[in-house]
Structure 1
Amino acid sequence: MIHITTKTFDQLTTTELYNLLQLRSQVFVVEQDCVYQDLDGKDKKALHVLGIKDQKIVAYTRIFKPGDYFEFSSIGRVVVDNSQRQHKYGYDIMTASINAIKEYYNTTKIKISAQCYLKRFYNNLQFFEIGEQYLEDGIPHIAMIYDKK
């Protein structure tokens, strides 16, 4: 079981920031063998959704209000520690992120840029693809929309 909390950038402790950046780097740079600039200047605008287990961040997303990233609210940097994926924490952190968008931004329309191999995972969460597949940092992605009242 994970404990999920949502924080602004300024509410993050130095340790939490270090640990979430380490998790993002571990998965997006090392595991996916993708050289890209993770520190993109957007973390200060985002709300950070942290999934914590045994005092360690094992799942994470960042969320944006409409207009900050896309026309609609958005969820990005969705990540679960490789050693914890068998627990399906991706569903927990995404559900918490959807609920946080409803709570903090009072909207249910969410756009994501999803890695194509995760399309079924996002479909299970009621996200549906729009448009054509595209490359982002050398990885096939698809835009997806959630709009459940």
Structure 2
Amino acid sequence: MPLEVLDVHVDELPVRTAYDVWRLRQDVFVVEQDCPYPDLDGRDLEATTRHVVLLDDGRVIGTLRVLDEGGWCRIGRVVLALEGRGRGLAPMLMDRAMDVVGDREARLDAQAPLAGFYAGWGFEVSGPEFDADGIRHVPMRRAPA
């Protein structure tokens, strides 16, 4: 089975896929990056939240979510599993996220070393660098098209 990118509401995710999405976020953000935080914040269940999920042979290897903030969108929880890194797969997630965003303004908080990656989709640093759980981030914004 080839790589597949889903763009769905949480209710459209098969239960096991949803579990794997949350497990991946926990494995990377909470365990690997040692950032204990409440990942299950209720926003995954909002009617306007879209989940972009990258599957490799049916296995979740990447995900992000797009939140509708009323007039603009927030891209967050961008993550690739260890076996997905270094394979040039992250752009597949971002391309689909930008399809979801369309011509609306988009914002995200990038890990500082990844600001150049997000610049490829028109994002610009929009504020000072900040620390989030010991990891340097920068706020970024893409103006509406």
Deviation at 1:111, TM superposition (A): 0.6
> Which runs of no fewer than 5 residues in structure 2 stay unpaired?
none
| Structure-1-length-normalised TM-score | 0.87
- Cα distance in 2 for residues equivalent to 1:145 and 1:2: 29
Q: RMSD over aligned Cα, in angstroms?
A: 1.5
Aligned partner of 1:140 among 117, 136, 142: 136
Which residue identity is paired with 2:114?
A: L
SS at match of 2:25: helix
C-alpha deviations, 1:57-113, integer Å up to 9, x for none?
A: 11111001133xxx62111000111111121111110111111222xxxx3310111
Note the C-alpha offset of 1:139: 2.1
Give the superposition deviation at 1:129: 0.3
Contact 1:113 1:144 in 2 (8 A): yes
Distance, in Å, in 2 between the alignment partners of 1:137 and 1:39 is 17
TM-score (norm 2): 0.90
Residue 116 (1) aligns with residue 116 (2): no
**Number of aligned residues:** 142
For the residues of structure 1 that align with 2:127 and 2:56, how far apart are their CA atoms? 37
After superposition, give the CA deviation of every residue in 1:104-125 in whole Å (9 maximum; x if it has no partner). Answer: xxx3310111111211211223
Moved over 6 A (4+): none
Aligned AA for 2:58? Q
SS in 1 for 2:86: helix
Matched-pair identity in %? 30
Aligned 8 A contact 1:91 1:125 in 2 = no
Verify the 8 A CA contact 1:133 1:143 in the aligned structure 2: yes
Where structure 1 has 5 or more consecutive residues not aligned to the other structure, the ranges are none
2:75 is equivalent to residue 75 of structure 1: yes
Task: Note the 1:50-129 alignment, pairs <5 A.
Answer: 50-67=53-70, 72-102=72-102, 107-129=103-125
Q: Provide Cα deviations, 1:24-68, integer angstroms capped at 9, x if missing partner.
A: 11111111111111111111122111111111011111001133x
